Amino acid sequence: MATSGPHAKPADNALPSGPAQVAFLCDEMLAGLGRWLRAAGYDTVVVERGIDDRQVARRAVHEGRVLLTRDRRLAEQVAGTGAVLLLGGNDIYAWARELAERLALDWMFRPFSRCLCCNTPLELADAAQQGDLPPAVRGTQNVRYCTACDKLFWEGSHVRRMQQRLREWKGRYTQDGAVFADTVTVGVDLSVFGLDEQSD
Ligand SMILES: [Zn+2]
């Protein structure tokens, strides 16, 4: 079973040099993964339905985003001009593991710093923005606000559960001493990534 290392053919499409700079483009099949990447704090765009492969490929290259896809044909369109990771797993846990192992992605990068719905960086909510919240939540330090979709995020049970899962992924999948992308060249991985464990 392959557990680490670049299972990728050599290409000149290395990732940006640090986690702060990495941004993702998820194909529409990976919208759920995109939401988790936003929860972890990564700038992540999910492709809208009906966009053709060439446009997706162009967008990934133009915006310098790492394309995440399960579609080999789409991955091949980007390989050579942009960064792409062809995911082999079948569920969110497998993908969480692949990203941690192959990109040294930090699942606790900047938790809940971006809107889960639209990717906009969140701001701390002021008193007026917190007006509709339950009294127990209002005035706490951790209420955040999305200016684009007028949504509030706070550490209620749903957010706490998501944070807990992000922590588990980080603890379980992060490789000791992994250095983000320094030695990883992302290309089209034509082997199916072997997984010996499916959590939860
Ligand atoms: Zn939003």
pLDDT in tens, 20-54: 568 999 999 999 999 999 999 999 999 998 899 99
How far away, in angstroms, is 70 Cα from ligand 1 center? 26
Q: Residues 6 or more apart from 33 whose CB is under 8 A from it?
A: 26, 68, 92, 95, 96
- Predicted confidence (pLDDT) at residue 19 exceeds the cutoff of 60: no
Residue in the block written with tokens 């939401």:
35
pLDDT single digits (tens) 141-159: 678 999 999 888 888 888 8
Residue in the block written with tokens 């997984």:
195
Give the per-residue pLDDT at 156.
83
- Whether 177 and 156 have beta carbons less than 8 Å apart is answered as no
How far away, in angstroms, is 187 Cα from ligand 1 center? 31
Of the listed ranges 40-44, 108-112, 179-183, the one predicted with least confidence: 179-183
pTM value surpassing 0.85: no
How far away, in angstroms, is 56 Cα from ligand 1 center? 22
- Predicted confidence (pLDDT) at residue 191 exceeds the cutoff of 80: no
* Better-predicted residue by pLDDT, 151 or 11: 151
How far away, in angstroms, is 123 Cα from ligand 1 center? 11
Ligand 1 is an ion; its neighbours by CB within 5 Å are: 115, 117-118, 120, 146, 148-149
How far away, in angstroms, is 38 Cα from ligand 1 center? 11
CA distances from 108 to 83, 115, 127, 194 (A): 22, 15, 28, 24
Checking phi first, is residue 41 left (phi over 0); if not, alpha (psi -120 to 50) or beta? left
How far away, in angstroms, is 35 Cα from ligand 1 center? 12
How far away, in angstroms, is 61 Cα from ligand 1 center? 24
How far away, in angstroms, is 13 Cα from ligand 1 center? 31
Give the per-residue pLDDT at 197.
26
Confidence of residue 134 (pLDDT cuts 50, 70, 90): confident
φ, ψ for residue 185 (rounded to 5)?
-105, 125
Q: Where are the domains of the chain?
A: 1-110+157-176, 113-154
